[in-house]
Amino acid sequence: MKTKTKLITAIAIAGVLVAFIAHKSSAMRQRLTAKVERVKESVQTMAASGRNPSAIVQTMQEKIKPLFDAGKAVEAEAVLDRLLEELGHGKPMATGSRAADEYRAFHNPERVAVRGYEGEVVDPFISRDGIYLFFNTTHFEPGKTALHYADRLDDLTFVYKGRIGGVNIDGVLTAVCSMDRKGCFYFISPRTHEGTLATIHRGKFKDGIVTDIRPIQGLNRPGQISFDVEISADGSTLYFVDATMSGSKAPGAGPKSSHLAIATRDGDGFKRLEQSEAMLAKVNTADNLEYGACTSADGLELFFDRFTVSSKSFAIWRAVRASAEAPFGTPQRVAALEGFVEAQTLSPDGRSLYYQKREGDRFVFYRVTRAAANVPIHK
């Protein structure tokens, strides 16, 4: 009821602002009306998904409306721009148009350090409680690719602990891990593929060691493999990829095709979701490669990697949905991340997005941050 009241208040305030804007010049009226409408749409979307829009309402009540009342349209527009940026709409251009495919809430790329470790941090994953950083070494020598972990010291510093025990096999690729809140640990390895077609395995992580390792069967289709895995925070939903490899034996050779897919828990295993293609219809594309799923704690945000074949470019994208049963909407590229970027992972509070960036001949560990007002977390 409280969220509904906030929604009604926000819409009422938006109506007052639009009425005020009607007295402005044609160009300013068109620009400001579009911005106010986008704020109203965001409030409605937040309320529909159960999130509390009180922070937006407060900004409209205490900052934007008084400026309009005082005739300070320019100052009010500046506050609107900042609010839209926090909401992920991006700062509109002077003409009132904006890049619809860009998500601009994240800012300030910063390098992240892993004390005591000199190698590359590849495919990072922050545990759901924020205590651990899991990662693997480079993929260019698959037989040497292994999983490692570090303890969190602060948002930009982790302390290296070593290779994860029980999970690595010398000479066999072991990489790309994820873990739910209960410590159920998932990773990629071809160790059992010949007999099971499986590349996704799971076990139980505790105190730096993974035990009770077994393959997850029934997801991979003949001729395809999965080279990425993400488990939802509650452990009920598995995100993976349907990939067809190019057949090239060159170091670092990538897949010929790759698209995201969803499976849900079925007893002690997982079963491909019948609605998987429909849920991801706006995420997967016919001509590009999608992989590297990363989900928010409530499952309403999906970050993923896309390699655009036509431009031979890498980027991280974000898609959202109103509920766990709804399909994901049209994705937006995370605008703050430039260059060869991929392998993103969210902090538990959703404010920090960690990722790897290619600089020269190695990957470097980075993060960007956003305001709390745009974090969809349900408790």
Q: Are 220 and 226 in contact (CB under 8 A)?
A: yes
Token pair belonging to 117:
């470790």
Query: What pLDDT, on the 0 to 100 scale, is given for residue 162?
Result: 96
Which parts of 246-340 are beta strand (E)? 255-266, 269-272, 289-295, 301-308, 313-320, 332-334
107-374 fold: Neuraminidase (2.120.10)
Which of 173, 152, 164 lies closest to 203 in space, CA to CA? 164
User: Residue ranges of the domains in the chain?
Assistant: 2-97, 107-374
Q: Residue 119, exposed/middle/buried by CB under 10 A (0-12, 13-18, 19+)?
A: middle
CA-to-CA dists, residue 16 to 10, 295, 307, 347, angstroms: 10, 37, 44, 38
Query: What pLDDT, on the 0 to 100 scale, is given for residue 235?
Result: 96
Query: What pLDDT, on the 0 to 100 scale, is given for residue 26?
Result: 57
Strand order across the beta sheet in which 122-126 lies: 113-115, 157-163, 147-154, 132-136, 122-126
pLDDT in tens, the chain (379 residues): 444 454 454 444 455 444 455 544 556 666 777 777 777 767 666 666 566 677 777 777 777 778 777 877 777 777 777 777 666 654 433 333 345 588 999 999 999 999 999 999 999 999 999 999 999 988 667 668 999 999 999 999 999 999 999 999 999 999 999 999 999 999 999 998 888 888 999 999 999 999 999 999 988 877 888 889 999 999 999 999 998 876 555 555 567 889 999 999 999 899 999 999 999 999 999 999 999 999 999 999 999 999 998 889 999 999 999 999 999 999 999 999 989 999 999 999 999 999 999 999 899 999 999 986 344 433 3
Three-state SS string across 316-350, please?
A: EEEEECCCCCCCCCCCEEECCCCCCEEEEEECCCC
Region class of 233: left (phi > 0), else alpha (psi between -120 and 50), else beta = alpha
Query: What pLDDT, on the 0 to 100 scale, is given for residue 84?
Result: 74
Query: What pLDDT, on the 0 to 100 scale, is given for residue 91?
Result: 41
Query: What pLDDT, on the 0 to 100 scale, is given for residue 317?
Result: 97
Query: What pLDDT, on the 0 to 100 scale, is given for residue 66?
Result: 83
